[in-house]
Structure 1
């Protein structure tokens, strides 16, 4: 900037004395060298400025959000499960009164000024001020999905945007393997089911990928869902593409579809939960088929289920738009919790609506987070005991 101003200052006297035609040439040359969009104004300013051009040093802007606000925000963010900034920004009016009513926040720091700042802070600012606090060291998992080339041909291929996604009840399902760094041997799996319309999500840990355990988990998901399941979409793994599950869907009058092989974006709604829900809460360790560890996982998911569906906001794609360069980009609605979307859908029965309302009223979200942390500690201890194996914390850290 200082160089451009110096060039402009040297051209200013010649421009003032030049003819109209010469002024046009000077302007063209100045624009080509400096890239000014308002070269004539820059020349006029340079003539008025005395002395050599000086670089402008701006005074740093004062910090808007103080230390107390940051400390309270970190506490709320941790209790909310450390989500992306746009989601706490959308649910802060839900979380703050709840946590304050249950005495979970630092009363000395939560002054009226701090509360006002927390209620007006934006999602982008939350991400910025929490960046030093966020733990970005994540492990990678493995995939055990193997496409079945024969039976899958008898199942309809689902396309994104089908009419089944425009109403509640169409479920995407996927399985995550808890294999650690190797697929050898037997290990537990987590079955995840997500309603595309409302984003309501259920997770169940199963012993292995046998269709016996998958069918039991699907029966449990049907009972847990606050809305009737009318459609089921899965990937092409043998855990789903088998005669037993096809018969189960037919007996339940559930429309069964599948995605194209090796196209994870066809099941994007549930695939996103694999990292955001399963890996975030159950990590990348190896869990064997012991009843104790499977029970721990399901106890963990029972708490995650309530916090995720009642207190965690999510966005939903509503269409497409073209930007200034003609590129198509997605349009998303405002973040809302799955519970709010289910209520808005009007599909709940009176009994189910009253049950969810009572759960919402009596639940302390901070207790959920503490319970989740306690179970996570037990899972880590079970994998990283005296006999360190493939699921050990040290072993997993070497395979990042």
Structure 2
């Protein structure tokens, strides 16, 4: 504001009543406030009479364009503090509850475990802090399930999405639904094909899941002929920590044959298979085909010659991860007001298969001879969930490198177990 020619209050009065213009160079609020403060000091506003104060306020309003009320507020602030400064506006924002480092922990956990559901991920975060004592998970272990999904959509979090797979007349086996009566040892079995490449068949995965504890054993075979399956099934049954009482499958010929029936009969295991027009009879293991096998091994073709290599990976890496470090939903039957029984999945019931096994009453009576809870506890507490998942991701990466090498040049296939080094 170039007002050097105005030095007295009388000149101010003449300017107010006239249409004279003054060059004002201030372009922002800070410069306007500075000019107003200089004017009030120059004319000693505090000691002016009432008429003089009114003239000076009209003068300030005419030059700055401020309203009478705004000028009055600014003058009042000057009289209170002796200075005039722009008040900085601070927008109210809720404080961030989770830091960038904690969001990174969530992203890393999701990446390691393959983007599980919100409740299952929350359970892993809780276990990392409460069971394994990792202090960096203290705050984020209290996160809600809804906030997990919110963070997954934030700019600081990058995730991936996976699509789920579509689910896939003999007198052998009884057409019935197993009734375990809350006892472990009633397994559901299904086959997953890894995919063809031209006319070359890929490996087949055999998936066996216990209905009560969701204890899961995965194995691979080059062909699903009955003579190839017999030793594999016998090995899989021996990997369960409890005795097997029932064996349930669909109506595929790889299971409904005399060889498998004789094996189960020798082991005193009841053989049942799915009933007609009851697609949910084997629903548990079919859901595990997508959430476990497809999520970990994908759909890409794996040569049949890699079956032994895959079995080492399953036995040493994947199966312990599934049963000791991957939380699962467990249903609770609720009767509604119409008398219908519906399954609910409360968060309090989310646990790993081993935790579910330990929660069963008199669990020691179901264990296989030579298996104790102390032995299983040692396996469960050997590593945290995230640390074991890191080991699994590394082993899986090395596994795929070897399967690709086997596909292009069979002579370069490394011996089983080398991908753990």
Q: TM-score, normalised by structure 1?
A: 0.68
2:105 to 54, 60, 72: 72
Q: Give the aligned partner of residue 323 of structure 2.
A: 309
Cα distance in structure 2, aligned partners of 1:211 and 1:81: 33
1:45-100 C-alpha deviation (Å, 9 max, x unpaired): xxxxxxxxxxxxxx876644332221122223333443111012123232236666
Mapping 1:205-220, distance limit 5 Å: 205-220=220-235
1:298 to 311, 325, 335: 311
CA contact (8 A) 2:241 2:371 kept: no
CA contact (8 A) 1:320 1:331 kept: yes
Change (3 A) 1:186 1:73: closer
Q: Give the aligned partner of residue 119 of structure 1.
A: 141
1:90-139 C-alpha deviation (Å, 9 max, x unpaired): 232322366665xxxxx8xx3xxxx4431210222212312453311447
Q: Give the aligned partner of residue 158 of structure 2.
A: 133
Cα distance in structure 1, aligned partners of 2:378 and 2:387: 16
Secondary structure at 1:213 match in 2: helix
Q: Give the aligned partner of residue 186 of structure 2.
A: 170
Secondary structure at 2:190 match in 1: strand
Secondary structure at 2:110 match in 1: helix
Q: Give the aligned partner of residue 194 of structure 1.
A: 209
Pairing 1:237–2:252 present: yes
Secondary structure at 2:205 match in 1: strand
Cα distance in structure 2, aligned partners of 1:265 and 1:133: 35
CA contact (8 A) 1:84 1:127 kept: no
Cα distance in structure 1, aligned partners of 2:244 and 2:184: 8
1:201-245 C-alpha deviation (Å, 9 max, x unpaired): 000111110112221121112211010000010011111011111
Question: Alpha-carbon deviation of 1:267?
Answer: 1.0
Cα distance in structure 2, aligned partners of 1:99 and 1:78: 19
Change (3 A) 1:127 1:295: farther
Cα distance in structure 2, aligned partners of 1:360 and 1:61: 40
Q: Give the aligned partner of residue 273 of structure 1.
A: 288
2:175 to 149, 157, 164: 157
Question: Alpha-carbon deviation of 1:356?
Answer: 0.7
Secondary structure at 2:180 match in 1: helix
Cα distance in structure 1, aligned partners of 2:231 and 2:220: 11
CA contact (8 A) 1:282 1:297 kept: no
Cα distance in structure 2, aligned partners of 1:86 and 1:94: 12
Secondary structure at 1:285 match in 2: coil
Secondary structure at 1:244 match in 2: helix
Cα distance in structure 2, aligned partners of 1:361 and 1:228: 23
Cα distance in structure 2, aligned partners of 1:123 and 1:370: 23
Cα distance in structure 1, aligned partners of 2:289 and 2:276: 18
Cα distance in structure 2, aligned partners of 1:116 and 1:210: 51
Secondary structure at 1:237 match in 2: coil
1:374 to 373, 377, 394: 394
The structure whose Rg is larger is 2
Change (3 A) 1:386 1:294: closer
Question: Alpha-carbon deviation of 1:359?
Answer: 1.2
CA RMSD of aligned residues (A): 3.2
CA contact (8 A) 1:165 1:196 kept: no
Secondary structure at 2:363 match in 1: coil
Q: TM-score, normalised by structure 2?
A: 0.65
Question: Alpha-carbon deviation of 1:194?
Answer: 0.6
Change (3 A) 1:91 1:384: closer
Change (3 A) 1:139 1:321: closer
Give ranges in structure 1 of 5+ residues lacking alignment. Answer: 1-58, 102-106, 144-148, 390-400
Question: Alpha-carbon deviation of 1:331?
Answer: 1.6
Q: Comparing 206-215 with 375-384, which one deviates more in the overlay? A: 375-384
CA contact (8 A) 1:264 1:271 kept: no
Secondary structure at 1:166 match in 2: coil
Q: Give the aligned partner of residue 337 of structure 1.
A: 352
CA contact (8 A) 1:142 1:181 kept: no
May I ask how many residue pairs the two structures share in their alignment?
308
1:312-369 C-alpha deviation (Å, 9 max, x unpaired): 111222214448x998742235101111111122333574212111112323444432
Q: Give the aligned partner of residue 50 of structure 2.
A: none
Q: Give the aligned partner of residue 91 of structure 1.
A: 124
Change (3 A) 1:297 1:264: farther
